[in-house]
Amino acid sequence: NAGVTQTPKFRILKIGQSMTLQCTQDMNHNYMYWYRQDPGMGLKLIYYSVGAGITDKGEVPNGYNVSRSTTEDFPLRLELAAPSQTSVYFCASRGGRSYNEQFFGPGTRLTVL
Amino acid sequence: TQLLEQSPQFLSIQEGENLTVYCNSSSVFSSLQWYRQEPGEGPVLLVTVVTGGEVKKLKRLTFQFGDARKDSSLHITAAQTGDTGLYLCAGEKETSGSRLTFGEGTQLTVNP
């Protein structure tokens, strides 16, 4: 199993541009999450999904959108990039039987200039 | 207001020393986890504790969940350079609906 994979690994955007961060998991997990990690700030939840077709906002959803058309994929969309969105983005998944033990992807480092 | 407070934020020690990292909250958690994150990678789960007073050991790492399930500690015995990394605690509340709340992390550096 590849686990949780994310693409791209790095990206530089100009202010106002848009992009989609891709996330795929091959563990047949129902729950998936998007976090951002800023220096010294831990992980903040952006959006999460408890299954295909179901998504919900986390702590910091403004400026982002998600969709969950399949169990495997959970893309994160930035519509109008802003410097405040410069961060490292992590996707994670969780199986249904565990105590919310999450498996993380390697991250996408995004810079908005 | 940070729901989970970790201390210290930074820790630099020599190989062979012992250390303890703390994770504190005023809230009760149904479970609490510790993750380790290395540069350029995502966090990796170390342990989950679910019962008040529970102690779990993972080789030289000892994890404890407070009796009231509001706090936790991670103790490392005879630290090695391979223990270097960012240690994150994360808690799930019964009312959180499958969401985890993360602490801000403790950056540990073990010098040879």
Domains of chain A, earliest start first: 4-98 (2.60.40.10)
B68-95 pLDDT, tens digit per residue, is: 999 999 999 999 999 999 999 999 987 7
pLDDT 10s digits, A48-59: 999 999 999 999
Identify the pLDDT of residue B1: 52
Q: Please choose, from the candidates A97, A96, A105, A76, the residue with its C-alpha nearest in 3D space to the C-alpha of residue A4.
A: A105
Give the A:B interface size as CB pairs under 8 Å: 59
Chain B positions with Cβ closer than 8 Å to A: 9, 30-31, 33, 40-45, 48, 50, 88, 90, 92, 97-100, 102-105
- Residue B98 is predicted with a pLDDT of 81
pLDDT attached to residue A2: 81
Classify residue B9 as left (phi > 0), alpha (psi -120 to 50) or beta.
Answer: alpha
Q: What is the mean pLDDT of each run of 10 residues along chain A (113 residues)?
A: 92 97 95 92 92 94 96 96 97 79 95 96
- Architecture of the CATH domain B5-111: Sandwich (2.60)
Q: Nearest residue on chain A to B87, judged by CA atoms?
A: A42
Contact indicator for A75, A21 with CB cutoff of 8 Å: yes
Supply the pLDDT for residue A101: 86
pLDDT in tens, B33-65: 999 999 889 999 999 999 999 999 999 999 999
